Structure 1
């Protein structure tokens, strides 16, 4: 029976570090179902959803702490019940940008949360030279929701913060 494990690693950004983590997962007999990596300044963060039989997942759970110490990484692992791929047929992207100001990202994420819309991805950044902030949020709509009404409400929110925004369907 398949077992599933979410593994998160953070540490100094160095060439080959992701390769080392993937190598360990492979050596333990685990398959990577999904993964994401990002660089934050001189640090990196990596998250993987792994699948394997009980022995493979156990082996990885035992070997990872020592390997993480060698690589100077902070790691977390959590067993989970399974993996359900996202339905990308109704996936949308909300974007906004403008002069940086406190509270915009909080308001935007609350906007979706209050409408029971789950975010599948979030990327935000501020250009320190121009003080321009931008964010991209990915979400999936269910069949009975009206994207036009949602977009109008989102544009009203953007207007309140004097930022430019849009929602568009993704071609995943």
Structure 2
């Protein structure tokens, strides 16, 4: 296989949420003969966000790069694209999901992600939101991550337990791979 056979492109589209956007964007990708390897959709406020990882030969990727700006303008979307290559998985001993909840306190997510960075832990996905419960605003976060082989998992868990107490959050940590 040549270097031109499997090109990859990250495509991001943001705009006012309305019916039919996903259909329009996926049709454009299909018409350009690209494959959607991975995708994420989120509604943030009144804005629709769609991120896709596409693969295809060089000409297919070029067709998307040339077609998307016009389609984005038609749909009222802000679009961005960046060529990339296949993700090279590091040397990990285990994958986990962490779900934590507590009162919505500024800086909690920043402290958790800083802890992960200090431990050399790779975050694969993250979703956080807030919700009202009675008179209080609470936050909930779900993080999927990989622990490198050279990190002691038991020490990691003990350190995170200490952090969760200092942040006053309840959490569930589950091994997923």
Work out whether the TM-score is over 0.5.
yes
Relative to the length of structure 1, the TM-score reads 0.91
Residue of structure 2 equivalent to 1:145: 151
Question: Which of residues 54, 57, 62 in structure 1 aligns to 2:61?
Answer: 57
Gaps of 5+ in 1: none
Q: Deviations over 1:45-89 (max 9, x none)?
A: 111111111111111111111100111100000011234579998
Answering whether residue 140 of structure 2 is matched by residue 158 of structure 1, we say: no
Give the superposition deviation at 1:21: 0.6
Gaps of 5+ in 2: none
After TM superposition, the structure 1 stretch with the greater mean CA deviation from structure 2, 62-71 or 88-97, is 88-97
Give the superposition deviation at 1:159: 0.4
Q: Deviations over 1:79-107 (max 9, x none)?
A: 11234579998220112111111111110
Q: Provide the aligned C-alpha RMSD in A.
A: 2.0
- The number of equivalent residue pairs is 171
Give the superposition deviation at 1:3: 1.1
After TM superposition, the structure 1 stretch with the greater mean CA deviation from structure 2, 60-69 or 76-85, is 76-85
Question: Which of residues 113, 116, 119 in structure 2 aligns to 1:115?
Answer: 119
**Change over 3 Å in CA distance of 1:16–1:37 after alignment to 2:** same
Is 1:87–1:140's contact at 8 Å kept on the other side of the alignment? no
Q: Deviations over 1:13-62 (max 9, x none)?
A: 11121111111001000011111111112211111111111111111111
Residue of structure 1 equivalent to 2:70: 66
Query: The residue matched to 1:152 in structure 2 has which SS?
Result: helix
Is 1:7–1:48's contact at 8 Å kept on the other side of the alignment? yes
Question: Which of residues 139, 143, 167 in structure 2 aligns to 1:133?
Answer: 139
Residue of structure 1 equivalent to 2:175: 169
Relative to the length of structure 2, the TM-score reads 0.89
Is 2:98–2:142's contact at 8 Å kept on the other side of the alignment? yes
**Change over 3 Å in CA distance of 1:89–1:16 after alignment to 2:** farther
Q: Tell me how far apart the structure 2 counterparts of residues 141 and 18 of structure 1 sit (CA, whole Å).
A: 34
Q: Tell me how far apart the structure 2 counterparts of residues 89 and 10 of structure 1 sit (CA, whole Å).
A: 36
